[in-house]
Structure 1
Amino acid sequence: MSRLDDAGVVVGAGTASARRRAIDLATSLPAWAAVLLVWAGGRVLSTFWLLIAFPLAARAMPENGVWGDGHGFGAFLVAWDGQYYEQISLHGYPDTLPLDAAGNVAQNAWAFLPAFPFAIRLLTISTGLPFEVGAPIVATVAGLVATALLYRLVRDRTGHAAAMWAVFFFACGPLSFLLQVGYAESTFLALTFGALLALERRRYGLVTVLGVVAAFTRPGALAIPLVLGVVALVRWIRARRADGRVLETFPLREQVRVVAAGLTMVAAGLAWPVIASHVTGTPDAYLETEMSWWVNFIGRVEFVPMTPWFLIAVRWLGVGGVLIVVFLLVAYPVWLLRRSTLRLGSTTVLYSAAYALYIFAVSLPMASTPRLLMPLAPLFGSPELVAKPWMRRTFVTAALAGQPVLVAVLWLLGPP
């Protein structure tokens, strides 16, 4: 016998029964077990695609993909940016900035923040493990923590089902292989999701600790104190309405804690350029280092906030590219303000706006942009994205089919 599934497609009774058994099993698991199962399945899937890509590395990967003569699978997992993290972990940062033939600052380790490589150093020193083993271990464990925190962050607002969809897209999606390679992404994601969850619970001390560590893990942590500031401002206004009604209490002691937390995180977020300049003796050492990656895309230009996306749009697509950027600037806020997205809560929506603003203001769109957008993963918990069967099938197919494509395009031909 056959019947119609939820999308009106005829399916066999055996297929429907198997699907129902799988759904029943998934829904009967405790939340922690379901999250762990999805995360583990994602790591198996990512490892499979990386193992498939590994034999092609010797031919496809440019010479600067892996340092040295060793091209084992471990070295493959710490390629590209991993080479700089290895240098930092083993030798620290250079006292003098390298220069190219024209006397401009060349690509160097100062573009990469210290928390991730120093964490690996603690592991390798205490265990004797080599960097190429320690880095994936730290990244993978941090990826598990990030996945669990993402579930909690989304579940508290939109429920278990939406949170599990967010976990699936995050742990099994096209970029999920980055959760287990020698990149700082998973560590930054764990710190960010943890800070947002702590902010929702008004645990300002924990927010401060996580926000400060995030500021020394990857750029973009300034979005956290920005969200804290907006939330605090709204609470302050609600506590002092002109008509005299108090909609929400905001005690002075709590205000002081919020201000202290915000200022501490802002100071941490602005500290690295100061440290780089002090150690190297070169003004704007960090900015010049970051912009050395821009040269191959738009040449050497002066940095002006809010212009990078327009610069590359004009360089590669002309007027049409500018129109695309303008469309994104309009469409993204509109989508954030949709009722379904707002169900994720003000903290998540404000962070998604603040972090996207940071990416637009200071980063140049390139191969690394997709991974820079990974902190926006809580948006996958919007119920609207999986409201209908055809939407779920589309997103699942895109997630599973997209990973081998991005492993090939980014990790083999990269850098991502």
Structure 2
Amino acid sequence: MPSAPSSIASGRRRVLDVVTSLPVWATIVLVWVGGRVVSTSWLALVYPLAGRAMPDNAIWGNDHGFLRFLTAWDGQYYEQISLHGYPTTLPLDSAGHVAQNAWAFLPAFPFAIRFVTVWTGMTFEVAAPLIALAAGLVAAFLLHRLVRDRAGEAAALWAVFFFTCGPLSFLLQVGYAESMFLALTFGALLALEHRRYGLLTALGVAAAFTRPGALAIPLTLGVIALVRLVRLRRSDERVLDGFPLHELARVVAAGAVMVAAGLAWPVIAAHVTGRPDAYLATEMSWWVNFIGRVQFVPLSPWFLTTAKWLGVGGVLIVIGLLVAYPVWLTRRSTRTLGSTTVLFAGAYALYVFAVSLPMASTPRLLMPLAPLFGSPELVAKPWMRWTLVTCALAGQPVLVAVLWLLGPP
């Protein structure tokens, strides 16, 4: 009789043989479906506690059905936007400060839901998770292509696994805009890789009206273009030979349009509400419970938060992250992912650090960094792979319970 460990190893090999014999697209779908089954199972296990454990502001009204549970928290604002649009008058609290409202959420996702509900008759509770599911599957395919082109097939499939089965993967099937933003972002990075600037512009503009953070895309484009120009000059090559004028013009136009789109929402909010700081004041209303009422200063939120809750030690942790992250990005193994992915990872992390607080939603904000899961440093060594697999599968029920059940992801 074979020993138990050898039987387990043999079974694992058989499973891997079956998976590797499938077409790549089928493997991605299989991993995606498996991840959604796992996430749905954990959400279903936590769901019976929704009526008792979730805060009052998690689900508005008395309907605590499972679909309503999947569209809780921010999903309620997306529903309000989908059904009624944005308020023309900002709500105020008892002290006269702007209160939390729908202007903090961008329109592409709720308007897409409205289109589907109008044409199909679906309710918001059905359409929102379905759109998130579809966009998440598209994001998985685009992530695979983005990593595969630089780091190879194995690294790409591991990146897809960590993305679709990781601790935060349950957010890819709830009423949040994450899936749509990830699909648009990965698509934009692929378009940038292949220098398809028209497609890049369209995806970058759509991303800018889906979730904050899309300004990292034109920043990445600008740095790549600048690096190309510098390298051409250093090699004594005529700039126009290696970087044709028509291509340079398209790069500048694409960057300008995406930057304008990324800065447009505060202007739109100000125009509709008649208040110049409508968007910023709305965003800051979420900060009050964490650090009190403060003035917004770029690059300061992480220092303010860690100093308030952890003192000097917290500030030192932030400084350590600011040193360690760029060092890791510049390692040879990370650079295997290609300059587009690495530069975007730096640009997007800079955005998160510059304008957001480190709080429960921070891991969600970092999901666009998923291509980094394909780094050979993380997937080349078996012990590292299985450590990440264990953390991914064990971490999801913890985050479902802590974030989705107790307070807002």
Task: Please report the TM-score for the alignment, with normalisation by the length of structure 2.
Answer: 0.98
Instruction: Provide the residue aligned with 1:123 in structure 2.
Output: 116
Per-residue deviation, 1:109: 0.2
Amino acid at match of 1:305: P
Per-residue deviation, 1:18: 1.3
Per-residue deviation, 1:247: 11
Instruction: Provide the residue aligned with 2:294 in structure 1.
Output: 301
Return the alpha-carbon distance in structure 2 between the equivalents of residues 293 and 109 of structure 1.
12
Distance 1:25 1:88, change over 3 A: same
Which deviates the most, 101-110 or 380-389? 380-389
SS state of the match for residue 95, structure 2?
Answer: coil
Instruction: Provide the residue aligned with 1:226 in structure 2.
Output: 219
Return the alpha-carbon distance in structure 2 between the equivalents of residues 402 and 271 of structure 1.
37
Cα offsets for 1:311-343 (capped at 9, x unmatched): 001100000000000000000000001111000
Instruction: Provide the residue aligned with 1:106 in structure 2.
Output: 99
Per-residue deviation, 1:235: 1.4
Aligned CA RMSD, in angstroms, stands at 1.4
Return the alpha-carbon distance in structure 2 between the equivalents of residues 44 and 262 of structure 1.
40
SS state of the match for residue 101, structure 1?
Answer: coil
Per-residue deviation, 1:15: 2.2
Does residue 121 of structure 2 align to residue 156 of structure 1? no
Match among 280, 286, 299 for residue 279 of structure 2: 286
Match among 250, 259, 270 for residue 257 of structure 1: 250
Contact 1:38 1:171 (8 Å CA) reproduced: yes
Instruction: Provide the residue aligned with 1:7 in structure 2.
Output: none
Instruction: Provide the residue aligned with 2:375 in structure 1.
Output: 382
Per-residue deviation, 1:244: 4.5
- Gaps spanning 5+ residues in structure 2: where? none
Per-residue deviation, 1:14: 2.3
Return the alpha-carbon distance in structure 1 between the equivalents of residues 393 and 284 of structure 2.
34
Match among 80, 83, 96 for residue 89 of structure 2: 96
Distance 1:244 1:38, change over 3 A: closer
Per-residue deviation, 1:11: 6.2
Cα offsets for 1:60-92 (capped at 9, x unmatched): 101111111111101000000000000000000
SS state of the match for residue 12, structure 1?
Answer: helix
Amino acid at match of 1:303: F
Match among 48, 60, 63 for residue 53 of structure 2: 60
After TM superposition, the structure 1 = structure 2 runs for residues 20-99 of structure 1, keeping only pairs within 5 Å, are: 20-99=13-92
Does residue 194 of structure 2 align to residue 201 of structure 1? yes
Match among 321, 331, 336 for residue 343 of structure 1: 336
Return the alpha-carbon distance in structure 2 between the equivalents of residues 242 and 199 of structure 1.
23
Instruction: Provide the residue aligned with 1:311 in structure 2.
Output: 304
SS state of the match for residue 331, structure 1?
Answer: helix
Return the alpha-carbon distance in structure 1 between the equivalents of residues 128 and 367 of structure 2.
19
Contact 2:229 2:239 (8 Å CA) reproduced: no
Which deviates the most, 68-77 or 82-91? 68-77
Per-residue deviation, 1:242: 6.5
Per-residue deviation, 1:246: 6.9
Return the alpha-carbon distance in structure 2 between the equivalents of residues 35 and 381 of structure 1.
15
How many residues are aligned here? 409
Distance 1:175 1:273, change over 3 A: same
- Gaps spanning 5+ residues in structure 1: where? 3-9
Contact 1:238 1:246 (8 Å CA) reproduced: no
Per-residue deviation, 1:22: 1.2
Return the alpha-carbon distance in structure 1 between the equivalents of residues 8 and 288 of structure 2.
54
Return the alpha-carbon distance in structure 1 between the equivalents of residues 245 and 179 of structure 2.
36
Contact 1:235 1:248 (8 Å CA) reproduced: no
Distance 1:248 1:52, change over 3 A: farther
Contact 2:142 2:187 (8 Å CA) reproduced: yes
Amino acid at match of 1:180: Q
Amino acid at match of 1:209: A
After TM superposition, the structure 1 = structure 2 runs for residues 126-137 of structure 1, keeping only pairs within 5 Å, are: 126-137=119-130
Question: What percentage of residue pairs aligned between the two structures are identical?
Answer: 77
Which deviates the most, 59-68 or 324-333? 59-68
Return the alpha-carbon distance in structure 2 between the equivalents of residues 354 and 218 of structure 1.
15
Amino acid at match of 2:257: T
Contact 1:149 1:193 (8 Å CA) reproduced: yes
Per-residue deviation, 1:365: 0.8
Task: Please report the TM-score for the alignment, with normalisation by the length of structure 1.
Answer: 0.96
Contact 1:57 1:412 (8 Å CA) reproduced: yes
